[in-house]
Amino acid sequence: MTFEDLKLQDSLLRAVKAEGYLTPTPIQAEAIPHVLAGRDVLGCAQTGTGKTAAFALPILQRLGDPPPHVRPVRCLVLTPTRELASQICEAFATYGRNTGLRQTVIFGGVGQDSQVSALRKGIDVLVATPGRLLDLMSQRMVSFHALEVLVLDEADRMLDMGFIHDVKRIIAALPCKRQTLFFSATMPPDIVALSRSILTNPVRVEVTPAATTAETVDQRVYLVDRASKRALLVHVLGDESLSRALVFTRTKSGANRVTRHLQEAGVEADVIHGNKSQNARERALESFNRGEIRVLVATDIAARGIDVEGISHVINFDLPNIPESYVHRIGRTGRAGAAGIALSFCDGEERAFLRDIERTIRRSVPVVEDHPYHSRSSGPSRSEAPRQPEPHRTHPRRGGHSRTSGPPAHSGPRSAPMPSASAPPSRDRYVPKWF
Ligand code: AMP
């Protein structure tokens, strides 16, 4: 399958080629023909699958040539975070660079003047976060009378972040006759209900089920006491193959503490989270992007929109209590088919989270024992002991359970060497246990 096979127009094919894309990703191959045909789409896809191009390319084609005089908004993309909004807007600019179509981004936390003047000049594609958009709509600064396409991106995240009422109010003000594309990494009942209320006879496109971890990501867990996590992080970062690491913490204050500790230990690190100003976040992202800092510490929501190429490692300093967040986090490395490594630090209190994650991703995450902070008390407890006692293993187990046998049973410490970025993970280590 090539981009030419998808019947994209020449101006878009040239842009895609200039980006170095050789073949469409699965979601692009599946979704592009439907969007081009004008169908509503319900897309279940996580970040890193290429879903932005899956909607941006066919939308640019459907919008056609820019109108000669007035430029009313014809496509609206709603997305939960400013970073994601900026990146989607950039993607439209990149893919549409030969089309003459104009796009702009609006989000809160910054002055509205430049956003309003961009809207006044006339734009074809508007990418927005819900709060600021509602604000501008109530000031009558933006009109959607000519809207043709609505995209809801990361709908589940909008729900998580409490934007769902804003989103519903915005949608209520849009023309009913339009094409709607709805993307979400997970499909909890509220999201299914919302999608049903706004989509007409949608095609369902599902590439990587939310419950599967990107195949190319090599995952490892370190069992460690909470008090030793920062020292372990510095120890792990002593390995230079961790060339660009994204470190996740659960809280903003935790992110600050970890960053300070790294800086004091001489590791170039910066932090992004919701309490940082837009400028500070952009600066940190830029330096991370340019390779001036090796480590970026982030909370889940702040990291949601990060699209930095070549993240060699994702480190879960804290394990998330929602397995889907784990899937999202590790999706930041190993993007679009590249190899990546995810390391998780698990203390005694996080064992239940690890079990939930393993149940969700349907594989057990090998334990790295070969480090000075290994904690046996952070390992599986007696009550979680193997269902069938097995000898100590030096390799992760495979197979052996039927699909109905439930979550992976830990068999004592599953030890694994520290993965190296230079040695791409071999996929057969990770035959899911339930299949
Ligand atoms: P997304 O899931 O839209 O955030 O895209 C993830 C990354 O994949 C971005 O950095 C894109 O530039 C890249 N990408 C998108 N489509 C392709 C493709 N067909 N081939 C290679 N890289 C791609």
Report the pLDDT value the prediction gives residue 360, as an integer from 0 to 100.
78
| Domain ranges across the chain | 4-206, 217-388
Q: Which atom of ligand 1 is nearest to the CA of 91?
A: 12
User: Which pTM does this prediction carry?
Assistant: 0.59
**How far apart are alpha carbons 220 and 333 in whole angstroms?**
14
Q: Which of 47, 49, 52 to mutate to test the pocket of ligand 1 (most atoms within 8 A of CB)?
A: 52
If you take atom 12 of ligand 1, which residue's CA is the nearest one?
Answer: 50
For ligand 1, say whether the CB of 385 is within 6 Å of any of its atoms.
no
**How far apart are alpha carbons 419 and 187 in whole angstroms?**
33
Q: Where are the alpha helices (DSSP H) in 265-366?
A: 278-290, 300-303, 323-330, 351-361
Q: Which of 3, 5, 12, 25 to mutate to test the pocket of ligand 1 (most atoms within 8 A of CB)?
A: 25
For ligand 1, say whether the CB of 21 is within 6 Å of any of its atoms.
yes
Report the pLDDT value the prediction gives residue 260, as an integer from 0 to 100.
97
If you take atom 18 of ligand 1, which residue's CA is the nearest one?
Answer: 21
The size of the chain, in residues, is 435
Biggest alpha carbon distance in the chain? 75
**How far apart are alpha carbons 333 and 330 in whole angstroms?**
6
For ligand 1, say whether the CB of 336 is within 6 Å of any of its atoms.
yes
- Distant-in-sequence, close-in-space partners of 78: CB < 8 Å, separation ≥ 6: 128, 129, 130, 133, 150, 151, 152, 153, 158, 167, 170
Helix axes 323-330, 351-361, angle to 10 degrees: 70
Let me know: does 292 contact 70? Beta carbons within 8 Å.
no
- In angstroms, what is the span from residue 146 Cα to ligand 1's centroid? 30
**Which CATH number is 4-206 given?**
3.40.50.300
Report the pLDDT value the prediction gives residue 64, as an integer from 0 to 100.
93
Burial of 177 (0-12, 13-18, 19+ CB in 10 A): exposed
For ligand 1, say whether the CB of 333 is within 6 Å of any of its atoms.
no
Region label for 337, one of left (φ > 0), alpha (ψ between -120 and 50) or beta (otherwise): left
- In angstroms, what is the span from residue 24 Cα to ligand 1's centroid? 9
- In angstroms, what is the span from residue 172 Cα to ligand 1's centroid? 32
Report the pLDDT value the prediction gives residue 336, as an integer from 0 to 100.
55
Rg of the chain's alpha carbons, rounded to an integer? 23
> What type of residue sits at position 384?
E
Q: Which of 17, 19, 306 to mutate to test the pocket of ligand 1 (most atoms within 8 A of CB)?
A: 19
Element (H, E) at 205: strand 203-206
**Which CATH number is 217-388 given?**
3.40.50.300
If you take atom 14 of ligand 1, which residue's CA is the nearest one?
Answer: 50
pLDDT tens digits, the chain, 435 residues: what are they? 899 999 999 999 999 999 888 889 889 999 999 999 999 999 988 777 789 999 999 999 999 988 888 899 999 999 998 888 999 999 999 999 999 999 999 999 888 999 999 999 999 999 999 999 999 999 999 999 999 999 999 998 888 778 889 999 999 999 999 999 999 887 778 888 999 999 999 999 987 554 455 567 899 999 999 999 999 999 999 998 899 999 999 998 999 999 999 999 999 999 988 777 778 888 898 899 899 999 999 987 777 666 677 889 999 999 998 787 888 888 888 665 566 899 999 999 999 999 888 877 878 899 999 999 998 775 544 333 333 322 333 233 222 222 222 333 333 334 555 555 444 333 222 222 221
Q: How many Å separate Cα 241 from the centre of its chain?
A: 23
